[in-house]
């Protein structure tokens, strides 16, 4: 990005560097309670307020503020609300040097000036100043994911990355824990999106424009949330293991916007060692690409239900609830628009779909028929601790895990077929079993 205001960049750099020197002197002579964790921001604010007079009397600060005060683009944002249709905060031009300093030092234990970080922050500042949109990030905290190479870019604006200290602090502000008795989450899904920059309070903005901006905010927020859910869904379909959401935040690194929003989800007391090795990454990314291609096809109504319920199953704590969601997923795939002989067709279609070997088809037919009958029993209040299959007694939990593996395998194959143009309707299933 070409810098439009090199003189302002130079003045801000000099101001921030001189402020950092003052802060180092202060910390050396009067140790600060500046520490990691959720109180870090408060302690840093206390430190800055303690030396506020020294900072503002600094000659380089005054030179910097003279340039800022004469900039028409900055003055357009000054002393009014700036943000998006979803939320705006009051911006004052005096905040620019202090926000730059804050971003440089908040997670910098050595209080050192870092050239690359400053240049990145200034480039972002100019982008937000001149462009008509502000970038936001939807961050979904992941439970259950033990290891994956990061950052893993899945598509433009969608990555799996490590949980940062900054993210942890924001989650903490919203009462969303990032540490649990049984595990400590390490990864997040980040989805970036842009919203129209809104300057001014409600009285100064045309009502029709407000409505359009609000519709854009609602739509893009929903799309970002869905993108994160899609990543979780594909992770679950890819291999066995428990991946589950633990809360989400929406933030912006824009110097013109300081707000955040957050929401929590149920905490699941479920340990998982789900990992994707480097050798598995290409297969996972291929499945993700196929899933994206599938989403762009029109013939996917029942398959949408199948994927959605498969995802929901991974969030259920009771084994019966988990099994019922898996069954709904399987029925949406194997029984679209089917009204008769449901149990028989369910078992036959799934066996033919998953296996070519006749002996394995017989085994799968029996397995899926038991699954269908078990669904009816659970719905009517009955339960089984053990299930007889092939002359052997197996536990209900083991049966569910095997069933989940089969549905995962089915969904992977369904994605491939649909993206190649196949329509998995009644006609397809009837032809399959002839």
Q: What is the arithmetic mean of pLDDT over 76-82?
A: 89
pLDDT greater at residue 266 or residue 10: 10
Query: Is residue 355 pLDDT above 60, yes or no?
Result: yes
189 contacts: CB under 8 Å, gap ≥ 6: 139, 140, 142, 158, 159, 160, 227, 228, 231, 232
- pLDDT tier, 203 (very low <50, low <70, confident <90, very high otherwise): low
Q: What's residue 258's pLDDT?
A: 66
Q: What's residue 302's pLDDT?
A: 83
**Residue ranges of E strands in 217-359:** 244-251, 261-263, 274-275
pLDDT tens, residue by residue, 100-153: 998 888 877 677 888 999 999 999 999 988 999 989 999 999 988 989 999 999
Long-range residue pairs from 209-213, CB within 8 A, at least 24 positions apart, any chain: 210/85, 213/84, 213/85
Q: Is 57 helix (H, G, I), strand (E, B) or coil?
A: coil
What φ, ψ does residue 336 adopt, rounded to 5°? -70, 125
Query: Is residue 337 pLDDT above 90, yes or no?
Result: no
Asked if residue 106 lies in contact with residue 40, where contact means CB atoms within 8 angstroms, the answer is yes
- pLDDT tier, 247 (very low <50, low <70, confident <90, very high otherwise): confident
Q: What percent of the chain has pLDDT over 70?
A: 91
- pLDDT tier, 269 (very low <50, low <70, confident <90, very high otherwise): low
Q: What's residue 281's pLDDT?
A: 95
pLDDT tens, residue by residue, 169-202: 888 877 776 666 666 789 999 999 999 888 877 6
Q: Angle of helix 342-354 relative to helix 358-379, nearest 10 degrees?
A: 140
Q: What's residue 278's pLDDT?
A: 93
Query: Is residue 280 pLDDT above 60, yes or no?
Result: yes
Query: Is residue 35 pLDDT above 60, yes or no?
Result: no
pTM for the model stands at: 0.86
- Separation between Cα atoms, residue 18 and residue 24, nearest integer Å: 10
106-120, 218-232, 381-395, 417-431, range with greatest mean pLDDT: 218-232
Q: What's residue 406's pLDDT?
A: 96
């Amino acid at each position: 990005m070409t810098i439009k205001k090199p003189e302002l960049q130079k003045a801000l750099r000099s101001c921030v560097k001189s402020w950092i020197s003052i802060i180092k002197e202060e910390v050396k002579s009067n140790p600060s309670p500046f520490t990691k964790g959720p109180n870090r921001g408060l302690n840093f604010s206390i430190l800055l307020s303690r030396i506020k007079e020294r900072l503002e009397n600094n000659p380089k600060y005054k030179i910097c503020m003279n340039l800022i005060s004469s900039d028409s683009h900055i003055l357009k944002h000054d002393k009014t609300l700036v943000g998006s249709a979803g939320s705006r905060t009051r911006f004052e031009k005096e905040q620019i040097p202090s926000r730059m300093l804050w971003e440089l030092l908040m997670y910098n234990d050595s209080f050192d000036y870092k050239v690359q970080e400053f240049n990145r922050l200034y480039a972002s500042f100019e982008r937000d100043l001149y462009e008509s949109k502000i970038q936001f990030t939807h961050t979904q905290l992941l439970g259950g994911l033990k290891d994956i190479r990061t950052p893993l870019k899945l598509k433009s604006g969608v990555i799996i990355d490590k949980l940062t200290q900054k993210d942890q602090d924001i989650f903490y502000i919203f009462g969303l824990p990032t540490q649990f008795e049984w595990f400590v989450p390490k990864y997040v899904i980040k989805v970036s999106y842009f919203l129209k920059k809104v300057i001014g309070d409600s009285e100064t903005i045309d009502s029709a424009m407000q409505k359009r901006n609000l519709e854009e905010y609602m739509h893009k927020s929903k799309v970002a949330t869905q993108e994160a859910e899609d990543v979780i869904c594909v992770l679950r379909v890819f291999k066995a293991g428990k991946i589950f959401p633990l809360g989400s935040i929406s933030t912006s690194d824009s110097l013109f916007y300081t707000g955040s929003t957050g929401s929590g989800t149920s905490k699941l007391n479920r340990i998982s060692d789900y990992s994707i090795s480097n050798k598995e990454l290409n297969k996972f990314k291929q499945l993700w690409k196929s899933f994206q291609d599938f989403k762009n096809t029109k013939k996917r109504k029942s398959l949408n239900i199948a994927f959605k319920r498969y995802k929901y199953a991974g969030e259920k704590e009771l084994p019966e609830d988990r099994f019922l969601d898996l069954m709904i997923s399987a029925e949406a795939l194997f029984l679209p628009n089917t009204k008769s002989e449901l149990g028989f067709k369910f078992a036959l279609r799934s066996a033919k779909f998953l296996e070519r070997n006749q002996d394995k088809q017989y085994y799968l037919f029996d397995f899926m028929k038991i699954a269908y009958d078990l669904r009816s029993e659970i719905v009517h209040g009955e339960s089984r601790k053990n299930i007889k299959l092939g002359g052997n007694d197996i536990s209900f939990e083991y049966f569910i895990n095997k069933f989940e593996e089969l549905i995962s395998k089915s969904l992977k194959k369904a994605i491939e077929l649909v993206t190649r143009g196949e329509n998995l309707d009644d006609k397809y299933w009837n032809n399959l079993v002839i």
